[in-house]
């Protein structure tokens, strides 16, 4: 089977979700939209876009909402062609943001979160998708405990094993989700994106790309501070 990844990337549309209000990052988000908060010398959105551009992704749409004009001004100043900003509203679900864009375009879509950085190998992600064209491909990252974990006996008194912040064998959604037109059409049946993903998983419509590289998600002030300590390894 011949996989034309280069051709696929030319036709792929990437949606970066940047419409939320970032309430857990207040007061920083009172004047600045969450994706434009800086981690050291660059905004989160820059890290995401630069990674996509380095991967030769050409068609990028920023699904904005909260403080749309600030994001639009930033994109127009920092980047030129091939990046479009579309105002998808403020208090709307992720699913509605995606629909507002996919209702007007056809083809395959890659959806990224505007607060999640990952050095994902885009070529490997696309290869998995092309080999499983009848599936949604959702990227995941292994959950790591924030605490030291004790393994005890049945009486819960004797400690049999201690592990410092181990991986838990569970994988969580980090975005970088690829959909075909077949599954895009199904969005209209649902009101919330999480319900849509739950349905697709139960029906066996999904496979995951397990990302083993670096990952940063920023939802809170403490996560932002942690990101600043990690970002040098990320670049």
CB under 8 Å to 65, separation ≥6 — which residues?
A: 18, 19, 20, 87, 88, 89, 90, 92, 97
Q: Given a cut of 70, is residue 21 above it in pLDDT?
A: yes
How many residues in the chain?
235
Give domain 5-140+171-234's CATH number out of 3.90.550.10, 3.40.640.10, 3.40.50.170, 3.40.190.10.
3.90.550.10
- Given this model, what pLDDT does residue 161 score? 73
- Give, in degrees to the nearest 5, the angle at Cα 94 between 143 and 89: 140
When pLDDT is averaged across residues 209-233 and rounded to a whole number, the result is: 88
- Given this model, what pLDDT does residue 186 score? 92
pTM of the predicted structure, to 2 decimals: 0.89
- Given this model, what pLDDT does residue 2 score? 64
Q: Given a cut of 70, is residue 69 above it in pLDDT?
A: yes
Q: Given a cut of 60, is residue 54 above it in pLDDT?
A: yes
CA atoms of 109 and 171, how far apart (whole Å): 22
- Given this model, what pLDDT does residue 167 score? 67
When pLDDT is averaged across residues 129-148 and rounded to a whole number, the result is: 85
Q: What residue spans define the domains of the chain?
A: 5-140+171-234
- Given this model, what pLDDT does residue 170 score? 82
% of the chain beyond a pLDDT of 90: 59
| 71 close to 34: Cβ distance less than 8 angstroms | no
CA atoms of 14 and 135, how far apart (whole Å): 17
């Amino acid at each position: 089977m011949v996989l034309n990844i280069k051709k696929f990337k030319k036709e792929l549309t990437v949606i970066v979700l940047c419409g939320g209000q970032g309430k857990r990052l207040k007061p920083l988000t009172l004047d600045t939209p969450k994706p434009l908060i800086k981690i050291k010398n660059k905004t989160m959105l820059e890290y995401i876009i630069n990674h996509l551009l380095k991967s030769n992704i050409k068609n990028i749409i920023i699904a904005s909402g909260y403080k749309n004009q600030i994001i639009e001004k930033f994109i127009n100043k920092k980047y030129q062609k091939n990046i479009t900003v579309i105002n998808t509203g403020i208090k709307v679900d992720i699913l509605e943001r995606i629909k507002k864009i996919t209702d007007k375009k056809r083809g395959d879509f890659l959806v990224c979160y505007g607060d999640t950085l990952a050095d994902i190998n885009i070529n490997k992600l696309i290869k998995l998708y092309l080999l499983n064209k009848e599936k949604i491909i959702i990227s995941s990252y292994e959950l790591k405990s924030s605490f030291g974990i004790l393994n005890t006996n049945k009486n819960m008194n004797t400690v049999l094993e201690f592990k410092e912040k181990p991986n838990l064998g569970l994988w969580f959604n980090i975005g970088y989700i690829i959909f075909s037109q077949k599954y895009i059409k199904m969005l209209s049946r649902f009101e919330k994106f999480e319900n849509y993903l739950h349905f697709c998983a139960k029906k066996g419509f999904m496979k995951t790309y397990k990302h083993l590289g670096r990952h940063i998600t920023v939802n809170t002030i403490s996560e932002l501070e942690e990101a600043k300590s990690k970002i040098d390894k990320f670049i």
